[in-house]
Chain A
Amino acid sequence: MNIFSRLGEFLLMIKGMFTKPEHWRMYWKELMHQCVELGIGSLGIVSIISVFIGAVSTLQTAYQFVSPIIPRSVIAQIVRDSVILEFAPTITCIVLAGVVGSKISSELGNMRVSEQIDALEIMGINTKAYLILPKIIAALITIPLLVIIAMTLGIWGGRMIGDITGILPHEIYDRGLLDAFVPYNVTFALTKAYTFAFIITAIPAYFGYNVRGGALEIGRASTTAVVTSCIMILLADYLLAAILL
């Protein structure tokens, strides 16, 4: 199957999701379930990564800034902007592409192979709408929130490590955070977060939903889904930066 056939199939899948739900309450329940699975379930890994990224950014920036002419508060500015513009949305979403993407792909793939999707179809349920749409909406709700948490924790991680190591006292760090702050950067980061949220759920859902075969194919689909999602995130990252900055 060539790339255009896949793209066509992907677009048809997206189109197929938009039908009237058979029972609103069941869809709402599934949406809430997915919010917990994708959002709360990823909170731990996102928190750990963010704190360490902030901490490492502070250390590495301080390491490179040896000139006495440059004020130390600039380190905080650089950490803040790096975390907001790139680390929090992009790195977090690349990690989530692995965690969430493989989960979605293998879950749907397993449902396909074990005929659970067929069972839902026989009942008269639109499986694209019931199984895929709640995952995408849940990601669009929770991933931007996770990115905001990642921004906060990343900046806090940098502050904490500056204090602990004595490289940058928190009074100077806090001053640096407020210097030349551009609120648009947060808007830009959230735009990226929404775009990436769609990518890391829709692409794995496509690969998982269309699995044919057995356990081996589920594994392959999962790997392809994660690799494709990561590439698409990087591509979207570049395009958004080129267009919006």
Chain B
Amino acid sequence: MIQVENIKKGFSNKTVIEDVSATFDTGKCNLIIGASGSGKTVLMKCLVGLLEPNAGDIIYDGTNFTQLNADHKKIMRRKIGMLFQGSALFDSMTVEQNIMFPLDMFTHQTKGEKQKRVDQVLDRVNLSEAHKKSPAELSGGMKKRVGIARAIVLNPQYLFCDEPNSGLDPQTSLVIDKLIKEITQDFNITTVVNTHDMNSVMEIGDKIIYMYQGKKEWEGSNKEIIFSKNERLNNFIFASEFLKDAKDMRMLEVKGKIQNDRDMDKLLNS
């Protein structure tokens, strides 16, 4: 579990995050959503230690991350895996070398053991045939999956995903979402996902934090979000007429007014 307590962060005279407190639960997909410039990326960078917050505490299972010295932070970071928006794969290395890199750097396993682990994680992300490919030869979705494989190769306790679906088609986005959800549950890790993707919100959002102008505006689950009366949240999530209709349909489904497995052909022709 990750607890964020009264985090503040600003650059020069501009405050980007103002007094945000939240809890990210273990074994769940915790989503941070919000419009561009709402501070969600800065919040995530503070969580992983790429940015130093101006005030507040970040507590990883009882360990106050913000108060650790540089050496202890480095050790703590080995428990963290992160998938970056652009995947951040090392261009000069093959897929296999990219995934093996953390093992080479932080373990003293034999070559055979490392190879076995690489095969396992590549199998896990359904990329068993991509060992010798370079990042330039991969599609956007494949790069994300390699990024996930690299992030989980050291068995992290915490997984951070920065906009995992950006630039992907809806079908590939679903695959990535499903993978993140499965990994979170299989390994019982704390996953924090920063996303704009409404499909992700509805599919994997066990816990959702909505950021608005640097503040936490709303908190809840994907079940609660459709019944939320928060106007800013509704304007953000259900921005189009199509999504508003989808929300209405989902509300009727949840209330049992219409069937989830309804026969649309029959309904349309009746």
Contacts and interface: CB of A to CB of B under 8 A. Distances in A.
B84 A119 contact: yes
Contact of A116 (B75, B88, B104): B88
Contacts of B84: 115, 118-119
B268 interface: no
B77 A122 contact: yes
A23 B85 contact: no
Contacts of A185: none
Interface in A112-158: 114-116, 118-119, 121-126
A9 interface: no
B77 A124 contact: yes
B267 interface: no
A118 B83 CA distance: 11
Contacts of A123: 77-78, 101-102, 105-106
A244 B197 CA distance: 65
A118 B50 contact: yes
Contacts of B106: 22-23, 123-124
A179 to B, nearest CB: 50
Given A116-B90, A124-B77, A26 B82 contact: no
B116 interface: no
Given A122-B82, A124-B75, A115 B88 contact: yes
Interface string A14-26: 0000000011011
A25 B49 CA distance: 27
B96 to A, nearest CB: 16
Interface string B85-115: 1101111000000000110111000000000
Interface residues of A, number: 16
Given A118-B84, A119-B88, A26 B77 contact: no
B80 interface: yes
A22 B81 CA distance: 17
Contacts of A124: 73-78, 106
Contacts of A118: 50, 84, 88
A122 B86 contact: no
Contacts of B125: none
A122 B48 contact: yes
Which one of A118, A124, A126 has the highest number of Cβ atoms from chain B below 10 Å of its Cβ? Answer: A124
A126 B88 contact: no
Nearest to A29: B104
Contacts of A22: 74, 105-106
B196 to A, nearest CB: 17
A128 B102 CA distance: 17
Nearest to A33: B92
Contacts of B78: 123-124
A22 B75 CA distance: 10
Contacts of A125: 74, 105
Contacts of B76: 124
A122 B90 contact: no
A145 to B, nearest CB: 24
Interface string B16-53: 00000000000000000000000000000000111000
Contacts of A110: 91
A119 B88 CA distance: 7
A125 B75 CA distance: 10
Nearest to B78: A124
Contact of B105 (A26, A114, A121, A122): A26
A116 B89 CA distance: 7
Contacts of A23: 104-106
8 contacts: A26-B104, A114-B91, A115-B86, A118-B88, A122-B81, A123-B101, A123-B105, A124-B73
Given A121-B77, A122-B82, A124-B77, 16 more contacts: A23-B106, A114-B88, A114-B91, A115-B85, A116-B90, A118-B88, A119-B84, A119-B88, A119-B90, A121-B50, A122-B48, A123-B101, A123-B102, A123-B105, A123-B106, A126-B74
Interface of A: 22-23, 25-26, 110, 114-116, 118-119, 121-126
Chain A to chain B: the 7 pairs with minimum beta-carbon distance, closest first: A124-B77, A115-B88, A119-B88, A124-B74, A115-B84, A122-B82, A124-B78
